Structure 1
């Protein structure tokens, strides 16, 4: 990256320290420019939420080609899993500057990630996130995002699976085929988990606090199954 851009990022990071700074790099013709944005996060010391109006204004000035933010007071500059998830979702290259060290790194969206081995990030990389990704990649089906960054199932006041599966286009079936969603109730008063049936008695799921994995659809999961559903746009086997 050109030193002029790095210096502009550096000056913004210094001005926002100890909070996280955030901004974008735009391309207009042959010129690249760094545009600082406001951080509207509730905890700006440890996170950033870029102001929507700032991003829209930047888009009017040129093509946004990179998202920038800072990591204050870190011993080693390493993108967090949340950074990588958000980068994947944005479809853009990301850059991070540490401060006061002043190190800088960039990373790109991950494509064709394995379904197995994904770290758990509640509200961003959880069982529904995996369901969404599987349907989009395998069948081109876009599901709405019902994941939230809190344990919604505690106390039974929210019922995000039971309230929404029909509206997402799922139909209940009796015998699972590969691609079906198995909805479960695990340690909660409501349906709070889902897996993809892969065939050969295997399921793909992302259980609370663990890496996503493939496991047998054994008695433990069968006893906790609420229903098996299939999206209307997936043909019967």
Structure 2
């Protein structure tokens, strides 16, 4: 990290304290520049969110190299699991500065994270991101990211599973013909389809349920009664 970039981060972090400061390091021509951003999170002393508008504005200035934020009033500067999950999601290096101590650390995205044992972070580590990672890791299939960091299913006005599964290349198959690699779409305590799991065979599913660790569990009566449909990627129809 270049000295002038680190100093610009330090000044921003100090000015935003006790809130978490956030910003982006970009490559603008031959120079690296720190772009301070506004923290729009509802709890700015505990978390941070950079708006999509500020991200796009920064991208117009140059390639984003690093996401920066601060940890106010911490006894030791250690990236949280939420930090690491979001770093995985962004796909670029992250930097954190503690304040008022002024310590600084960086870390990189993890490649091919374990599918089981993930902490729940809505919008970054949830049922759809697990589905995405499963198909990428196991079948080399890339899906679009439909995860968002709010409970889109709560009022029934959004239907991210039902509206998008066909455009993502899935075809409905009879539940009786379900086989390994199929996606099981479910409706759990919501007015719309809001959950999905991967069938692993032998009556076992892989899923990431709200507030829990991702896990493998039997496809028992609870999950069967909440199943809306079973779908299969077109590439796997004749596999």
Q: TM-score under structure 2 normalisation?
A: 0.85
Match of 2:59 in 1: 56
CA-CA distance at 1:229 after TM superposition: 0.5
C-alpha distance in structure 1 between counterparts of 2:159 and 2:124, whole Å: 18
Does the 8 A contact of 1:120 with 1:208 survive in 2?
A: yes
The one of 230, 233, 236 equivalent to 2:232 is 230
Shift of 1:4: 4.9
Deviation track 1:1-37 (CA, whole Å, cap 9, x = no partner) reads: 45554333212221332333233345689x8744132
CA contact (8 A) 2:117 2:214 kept: yes
Structure 1: tracts of 5 or more residues without a match = none
- Distance in 2, matches of 1:85 and 1:77, equals 17
In the alignment, which residue of structure 1 is the partner of 2:87? 87
C-alpha contact (below 8 Å) 2:27/2:33 kept by paired residues: no
In the superposition, relative to structure 1, how do residues 194 and 69 fare at CA in structure 2: closer, same or farther (>3 Å)? same
Return the alpha-carbon distance in structure 1 between the equivalents of residues 231 and 13 of structure 2: 49
Equivalent residue runs for 1:67-86 within 5 Å: 67-86=67-86
Structure 1 residues 105-124: aligned runs within 5 Å? 105-124=105-124
Question: Any stretches of 5+ residues in structure 2 without a counterpart?
Answer: none
For 1:47 and 1:190, locate their aligned partners in 2 and report how far apart those are by CA, in whole Å. Answer: 29
Q: Report matched runs for 1:176-191 at 5 Å.
A: 176-191=178-193
Q: Which moved more, 1:204-213 or 1:65-74?
A: 65-74
Asked if the contact 1:170–1:232 (Cα under 8 Å) also holds between the matched residues in 2, the reply is: yes
1:210 equivalenced with 2:212 (yes/no): yes
Which deviates more from structure 2 when the two are superposed, residues 147-156 or residues 85-94? Answer: 147-156
2:48 touches 2:69 (CA, 8 Å); kept in 1? no
* In 2, Cα distance between equivalents of 1:159 and 1:17: 39
Following superposition, which runs of at least 4 residues in structure 1 exceed 6 angstroms of deviation? none
Q: How does 1:1-237 map to 2 (within 5 A)?
A: 1=1, 3-26=3-26, 33-43=32-42, 44-45=44-45, 46-49=47-50, 51-59=54-62, 64-174=64-174, 175-237=177-239
Secondary structure of 1:233 counterpart:
helix
Offset of 1:39 from its aligned partner? 1.7
Q: Distance in 1 between matches of 2:156 and 2:6?
A: 49
Name the count of aligned residue pairs.
233
Q: Distance in 2 between matches of 1:167 and 1:54?
A: 29
Deviation of the 1:113 alpha carbon: 0.9
- Mean Cα deviation higher: 149-158 or 183-192: 149-158
Q: Quote the offset at 1:49 in angstroms.
A: 0.4
